[in-house]
Chain A
């Protein structure tokens, strides 16, 4: 009974220490703010996602064409728009990074 209460108290104290740890370890931090996702970064990230998607799609189309899932006709019809899309995303991303 008593042992149980003591153990419970020890458990509680340990938990409090763990929760307070960030403040104990850094009593006087340089910065206490969480990094922020600025709108520019968010936009850049979206463009990077778009570019990666377009490049991955290009790669996959090449592979599909090579192993016969996509015939020549479909390949020719798809490759143009995909390349344009990838180039567009790359350009937009370059523009953004240039500005920054």
Chain B
């Protein structure tokens, strides 16, 4: 069936080319039927990509090793679910998933907007088509997943560290995020091309950006959780270029989600918004480039990878195209409104944007520096964790504080006396928290203490916001507290959804500070019966077990955990040796984690070396509050869903506005 897959991809390429070229012609000459035809081509492209993806997935499920790609990434003994996730286990399959999601988003975006602002949407079609041309071209010419061979008896199997539920969900979420940023980008470019620089493109894409952003956030958190429980080095984020690749567009999109509100409320920052959405999109392509080209390792490996140059060309085209478009339409993007005061809600939004973009660009610099220095000086210089940690503190802590300041300040202007009153309670809560923590010994880490004080401030400010809003609502409607809260959130979904997301970010910050600034560690070689003690925990090594499963030899050290004399039960940590093709088995550490669900603290045991005599070298961490990270993910998703929930009143308001401006003029 590989021919069908190849044919489907070829059809996709043709359809995308059609959507791009014919769509442009239709938009230029304002021909309605031609534009509809180009739009249909985008929808058909999704269908034919889905056929290609279906063929590949079927190849995996049937273990059809005549597909080179299937043979390289699967084996007969692979469990069913992982056969499916092996589809995106390699380069070609990842690109196919990219294209599938892109055409899916594109088809949905043009279909949802089919009856709205046609003069803008006609230009969206060719932009989305153009992006899809890039990826379908790669899949047809450079990296086809449908190469065939004489089928070997068995495939070489999936990398064991990818055989994990997280690795099944993590890439699709990340791609939903990366690719989703193409939709707001296409609408922004459509707005510039058509000259419709009013609020319409922002209203049309706000929700898309939010969906992409949420997916990107959840995808990264899944990746972090995977690293934490599976990779087994005791952390969740290593500032690895591949991780940074996802963080950068996330930060740019975060800035965009905030600055959009200033354009809506004040009509300002039109240029900035287009720049941000282009930046976010280009960074998402750059992220794909980083993970797929190998440029991270060295500029030389980049030259040897066949796909890197194409991606680089793609990025250059995207950057040049958006820059030219923005400069061309600069006169249309001028605004008359000015910032009235540096102490106002919009000013806080502006500071937030500057910090987010600064953080994003410093990370970009850190990622690109080894490549740039090698290209310029011939000598690669890498920047490590200290660089990234430094900038995270410099830009991240003020960002945290601003999340509390923003809700307390009114739009336009605020007098200092008025601020004194609104700031009193949150500031008092923050100071008390800081002093209490200091007395409890949190002064061991200054950034940690600052983070916790700021967190308390933000939580108090947001809490105050909910209380005030509910009280005001009750005063008007005489509803009970829960009903008033419900209708408050329901009537201002974006605002209170946003505050909920802020709570998630604060939880995240508390978790990060707890796990990285206040953790404790002990290590040592234990023979049977010996114990290690750390932060009140005693971990006693009781012996080894060995089990043979279908795929691996599993060695486990049995541990007994007690805290301050109280027995807390058993814990296992060990190693799996997977039998795979090749001379050596592939070993993966299986860490032992004991979670205290009340305090969010983890006892984290990494098995080091297992010696011949049965003794084991252990490295044991105690990570306070680390589980708030994962809780933050749930709160984040909840807040995003509140903000995403469709708001019929807003749609009506917009419809009224466009009716007033004159019903669509059918040209003659």
From the candidates B36, B51, B118, B408, name the one contacting A11 in the complex (CB within 8 A). B51
Contact with A along B644-668 (1 / 0, CB 8 A): 0000000001000110111011111
Q: Is the CB of B422 within 8 A of A68?
A: yes
Contacts of B266 in A (CB 8 A): 53
Contact between chains at A36 and B4 (CB < 8 Å): no
> Is there contact, CB below 8 Å, between A48 and B661?
yes
CA distance A73 to B415 in the complex (A): 8
Interface of B is mostly: helix
Shortest Cβ distance from residue A95 to the other chain B in the assembled complex, whole angstroms: 13
* B338 partner residues in chain A, CB cutoff 8 A: none
Known: A12-B11, A68-B468. A45 touches B658 (CB 8 A): yes
* Bound-complex Cα distance A4 to B58 (A): 14
Contact of A49 with B3 at beta-carbon distance under 8 Å, contacts A36-B119, A37-B195 already known: no
Query: Which size bracket describes the interface of A in this complex?
Result: 35 or more
Identity of the chain B residue whose Cβ is nearest the Cβ of A50 in the assembled complex: B267
B4, B27, B413, B667: residue with the most chain A Cβ atoms closer than 10 Å = B4
The answer to whether A97 and B660 touch (CB under 8 A), given A42-B198, A53-B267, A77-B413, is yes
A35 contact from B8, B33, B265, B664, Cβ within 8 A: B664
**Interchain CB contact under 8 A, A18 and B44:** yes
| Interfacial chain B residues near A31, Cβ < 8 Å | 32, 666-668
Contacting residue for B267 out of A49, A63, A68, CB 8 A:
A49
Residues in chain A near residue B668, CB distance under 8 A: 31, 33
Q: How far is the CA of A32 from the CA of B472 in the complex (A)?
A: 53
Q: Choose among B11, B118, B119, B660 the residue that contacts A48 (Cβ–Cβ < 8 A).
A: B660
Contact code string B13-38 (vs A, CB < 8 Å = 1, else 0): 00100100000000100111111110
Main secondary structure on A side of the interface with B: helix
Complex interface: chain A residues within 8 A of B410 (CB): 61, 64, 69-70, 74, 78
* B417 contact set on A, CB distance < 8 A: 71, 73
Q: Are the C-beta atoms of A36 and B665 separated by less than 8 Å?
A: yes
Q: Is the CB of B30 within 8 A of A21?
A: no
Chain B contact patch, size range:
35 or more
Closest to A16 in B: B44
Q: How many A-B residue pairs have CB under 8 A?
A: 172
Residues of A contacting B661 in the complex (Cβ-Cβ under 8 angstroms): 41, 44-45, 48
- Whether A21 and B37, one on each chain, are in contact in the complex, defined by CB atoms closer than 8 angstroms, is yes
* A67 in contact with B469 (CB, 8 Å): yes
A36-B667, A48-B661 as given contacts; A4 in contact with B37, CB under 8 Å: no
Chain A 12-44 interface 0/1 with B at a Cβ cutoff of 8 Å (1 = within): 101100111111001001011111111011101
- With both beta carbons as reference points, the residue of chain A lying nearest to B119 in the complex is identified as A37
Q: Is A92 an interface residue, CB under 8 A from the partner?
A: no
Please give, as numbers and ranges, the residues of chain A lying within 8 Å of B422 by CB-CB distance. Answer: 68-69
B209 at the interface (CB under 8 A from A): no
Q: Which residues of B contact A63 (CB under 8 A)?
A: 472
Interchain CA distance A44-B267 in the complex, whole Å? 15
Decide: B666 and A33 in contact? CB cutoff 8 A. yes
Nearest Cβ in chain B — how far from A51, in angstroms? 9
Q: Once bound together, how far apart are the Cα atoms of A64 and B7, in whole Å?
A: 61
Task: Please encode chain B, from 468 to 479, with 1 for each CB lying within 8 Å of some chain A CB and 0 for all others.
Answer: 110110010000
CB distance from B464 to the nearest CB of A (A): 9
Most buried by A among B31, B36, B421: B36
Tell me the bound Cα distance from A51 to B398 in angstroms.
35
Inter-subunit contact A4/B30 (CB<8 Å): no
| Contact B7 A12, beta carbon cutoff 8 Å | yes
A87 at interface by CB-CB < 8 Å = no
Rounded to whole angstroms, the CA-CA distance of A44 and B661 in the bound complex is 5
A66 at interface by CB-CB < 8 Å: yes
With known contacts A22-B37, A35-B119, A71–B198 Cβ distance under 8 A: no
Whether the pair B198, A49 counts as a contact (CB closer than 8 A) is yes
Cα-based distance from A49 to B13 in the complex (angstroms): 40
- Complex CA gap A14/B418 in Å reads 66
Interface residues of B (CB under 8 A from A): 1-4, 7-8, 11, 15, 18, 27, 30-37, 40-41, 43-44, 47-48, 51, 118-119, 122, 194-196, 198-199, 264-267, 408, 410-415, 417-418, 421-422, 468-469, 471-472, 475, 653, 657-658, 660-662, 664-668
20 CB-based A-B contacts, threshold 8 Å:
A8-B8, A8-B11, A11-B51, A15-B11, A18-B44, A22-B34, A31-B667, A32-B32, A33-B666, A34-B32, A34-B35, A35-B664, A41-B661, A44-B660, A48-B660, A49-B267, A53-B264, A67-B469, A77-B413, A93-B660
9 nearest A-B pairs in the assembled complex, by CB-CB distance: A8-B7, A22-B36, A67-B472, A4-B3, A71-B418, A45-B661, A35-B664, A4-B4, A15-B44
